[in-house]
Amino acid sequence: MNATHKLGADKKINGVGGHLFAIAIAIKLSNAMGFNGYIFFETKNMSLVEHYSEKFGTDLIPTRIHDYRMEINEVNAQKLLANYSLEGDLNVR
């Protein structure tokens, strides 16, 4: 069941499922490359910053490069993968 703020024409957050999938893939790749799941990424707006922070334990990284750069540290990355695991292994070369 989706939260009401994610439904209909007036939804405030769009595409979070796809972003979660991409984040989980990035964490698996980070693990495979020896970075223990640590990743950083940019998001679109403060609403998503707050959502990811609350839902996945991400932190906003103050930077001049992008207003909404976020990180998932190693501990929260492993928690996220434990809750939203993907089947199969990545073929990383």
Let me know if residue 7 belongs to a domain: no
Q: Write the single-letter amino acid at 86.
A: L
- How many domains, in total, are found in the chain? 1
**Structural domain contains residue 68:** yes
Can you point out the beta strands (E) in the chain? Answer: 39-42, 59-60, 69-72
46 vs 86: which has the higher pLDDT: 46
92 in any annotated domain: no
pTM of the model: 0.70
Distance CA 32, CA 61 (A): 24
CA dihedral 39, 45, 50, 54 (to 10 degrees): -40
What are 72's strand-pairing partners? 39
pLDDT tens, 1-55?
444 444 445 555 455 566 677 788 889 999 999 999 999 999 999 999 998 899 8
Higher pLDDT, 84 or 71: 71
Asked if the structure places residue 5 within a domain, the reply is no
pLDDT score recorded for residue 22:
77
For residue 28, being part of any structural domain is answered with yes
- Assess if residue 22 is contained within a domain: yes
pLDDT of 60 reads 96
pLDDT value, residue 21: 72
Task: Give the structural domain span for 59.
Answer: 15-83
Higher-confidence residue: 14 or 58? 58
Residue 10 domain flag = no
In a domain, 90, yes or no: no
